[in-house]
Amino acid sequence: MAYVPFVSLYRRFRPGRFGEIRGQDHVVRALRSAVRDERVSHAYLFSGPRGTGKTSSARILAKALNCEAPVDGEPCGNCTSCTEITLGTSLNVHELDAASNNGVDAMRDLVAHAGLGTPGRWKVYIVDEVHMLSTPAANALLKTLEEPPSHVVFVLATTDPQKVPPTIRSRTQHLEFRLLGADTLQDLLESVKAQAGLTMDDQSVQVAVRRGKGSARDALSALDQMSTAGSSDSARPELSEVMVALSEGDVSGVLIAVSGLLAGGWGPQQLAVELVDDLRQVFLAALAPTLCSESGPSRERFTELAKAMGLAKVVRSMELVGRAQVDIRDAPDAQIVLEIAIVRATRPDLDMGIEALSVRVSNLERTLTSGTPYQSAATTLEVADPIKPAEPAPPSQGEAGKRPSLGAYRRRPDNSPAGGAEHAVMGKIKEPRSSHLTPPPSTPVSVDTHPSPTVDRDSLSEAWGDGVLRGLPARVKALYSAGHFVAVDAQGAQFALPTAPHRDRCAELVSEVEAALLERFGQPVKLVLVVDESISGSTPRHEPTDRGEGVLTTETHNDRGEEVDAAEFHHGTNENADQASEAEARLLQAFPGASEVVN
């Protein structure tokens, strides 16, 4: 039995007729019509990405021009001329690689032999990578290219038409080849798989389509590789674990998955390339599903990842990994560059850039829209005290049972401060005194109405600092700025104030605060005003300075040592409350319980 050498798929299934060329209908129509109507130009310039059929189209054109029995511009493929051109032994076709023959001597030799006759009707010169010709070589070809012998046709092919001298482009008919679409590549690979009798699953074909990136030759090479290896794992890394961990914000999971791929032999550069490609598929699945190169379950998986990550995180991840792909080339340790980029993409809170902030804002918007807090699998970095109670304290003791909100400090079960010192606004830190909450009176100030369970102490504190306090009228804002939410129980939302007289004055305006909370949360929130002795010495008031400005201070005595009621002070200074309380509200928005002092 004669030995039959192995031939790769892209060579074995190279198109032999115009009808077999896929994805280039505009080129096929122009060339077939030119042959059929005998309007063939003396020179053509074929340009386009690699693996899109430029050289194959040039050979098919040579077959059609010299075919003994062409049918509607198509070569028969069976005559002597067609067979010789297919085998590469025809004297009618001369192929020249301009990348290795780019000197003026090679062009002089081509010009010298162009006028010689051949057995066929046409003599076709195919010059690949014509943009590699040197300037003297291109100039030597110009005259013959413009006025070749009547039986000579030039076909110049290039992947970079911008580098072809304008003097050459102007002497040719320029036909531009395009990348093949995902569906076209899918049909091509399925056809080749059936004709070659390959046994592989649909997933391997999908991987080959993505590896091809619009190039038929690259896709067939990837299919050939997977048919030899028996699986798609040899063509590209499996990034499903990395993508899931990235979408869930699981830093540990994403690092373990990347480390496993690196240990399996995949390089950081290749992982970055493939990860950007997967993120692009997620991006397309979210915005333009028809452009996604995946189909079936794979496209559904990318769609789910897009929903889980959010568009802002997908775009930022693509940018981070894309920049890492460039930085890896010059990095002393490429693995570190890749890992840092992926960690930043996974946890936006570890990056203080504008893009990271936009991701965090996007998560908040999604939370407000869906009503479900954005969940992250990553471990939250605790900034508060490391000592945590085993069980949440009762609501009456002011413990919310959750992590502290912005501006609120956590208390231990024994009601002692658990965070060290309170924050000071302008460089001074004061230690809070022990906290003893005076139980609410037997008859609450407000009507006993159960708040919705979705409104807890943390959400109230956040909303209070985020704008509820700022939007109150000046007098209400001045009175209520000294207090803070301590708990939510069956009676209502407990709001602690420094003294009993202060609480009584705040009770007169409680309806305005409840109206603001109703507008913010969309449901009634009833306040139960209580007294917290720990803040009795820090009721803010406005003290005039030599600059005429009001400065927040925690002093409750005047210059003569007499105790001053903060509520009375605010009541008597309504004409200046707008400007001062606005500044006070902004400060207390971020640091409730803090004080502003002059250095």
Report, in angstroms and rounded to the nearest whole number, the Rg of the chain calculated over CA atoms.
38
Q: Are residues 169 and 188 in the same domain?
A: no
Q: Tell me whether residue 486 is in a domain.
A: yes
- Cα-flanking dihedrals φ and ψ of residue 420, to 5°? 90, -115
End-to-end CA distance of the chain: 99
Q: Are residues 306 and 344 in the same domain?
A: yes
Q: Tell me whether residue 401 is in a domain.
A: no
Count of structural domains within the chain: 4
Band (pLDDT 50/70/90 cuts) for residue 370 is low
Q: Are residues 155 and 254 in the same domain?
A: no
Q: Are residues 332 and 252 in the same domain?
A: yes
What percentage of the chain exceeds 90 in pLDDT? 33
What are the tens digits of pLDDT across the range 394-421? Answer: 444 444 344 444 444 334 344 443 333 3
Q: Are residues 92 and 187 in the same domain?
A: no
Q: Are residues 191 and 135 in the same domain?
A: no
pLDDT at 586: 55
Q: With contact defined as beta carbons under 8 Å apart, do 45 and 128 qualify?
A: no
Q: Tell me whether residue 411 is in a domain.
A: no
Instruction: Give the domain range for residue 323.
Output: 240-370
pLDDT at 30: 94
Q: Tell me whether residue 1 is in a domain.
A: no
Query: How many degrees, rounded to 5, is the angle at CA 373 between CA 372 and CA 376?
Result: 130
Q: Tell me whether residue 558 is in a domain.
A: yes
Q: Residue written as tokens 């903060």? A: 566
Q: Which of 321-325, 390-394, 398-402, 425-429 has the lowest mean pLDDT?
A: 425-429
3-state secondary structure of 107: helix
Q: Are residues 197 and 260 in the same domain?
A: no
pLDDT at 355: 64
pLDDT higher than 70, residue 588: no
Mean pLDDT of 533-542: 51
User: Across the strands, what pairs with 97?
Assistant: 128
pLDDT at 591: 60
Q: Are residues 143 and 187 in the same domain?
A: no
CATH number at residue 134: 3.40.50.300
Q: Are residues 25 and 145 in the same domain?
A: yes
**Top-confidence residue, 581 or 232:** 232
- DSSP string spanning 452-518? PTT--HHHHHHHIIIIITTTS-HHHHHHHTT-EEEEE-SS-EEEEES-HHHHHHHHTTHHHHHHHHH
Where on the phi/psi map is residue 29: left (φ > 0), alpha (ψ -120 to 50), or beta? Answer: alpha
Q: What is the pTM of this model?
A: 0.55
Q: Tell me whether residue 4 is in a domain.
A: no
**Paired tokens of 64:** 């059609």
**Paired tokens of 173:** 């008919």
Report the sign of the C-alpha dihedral through residues 75, 81, 87, 90, in that order: negative
What are the tens digits of pLDDT across the range 134-179? Answer: 999 999 999 999 999 999 999 999 999 999 999 999 999 999 999 9
CATH number at residue 306: 1.20.272.10
Band (pLDDT 50/70/90 cuts) for residue 485 is confident
d(CA 218, CA 229): 17
Mean pLDDT of 261-287: 90
**Top-confidence residue, 559 or 318:** 318
d(CA 280, CA 291): 10
Q: Tell me whether residue 383 is in a domain.
A: no
Q: Are residues 440 and 577 in the same domain?
A: yes
**Top-confidence residue, 280 or 297:** 280
pLDDT at 472: 87
Q: Tell me whether residue 306 is in a domain.
A: yes
Taking CA atoms, 358 is separated from 173, 351, 515, 540, in Å, by: 49, 11, 31, 35
**Paired tokens of 565:** 């009621």
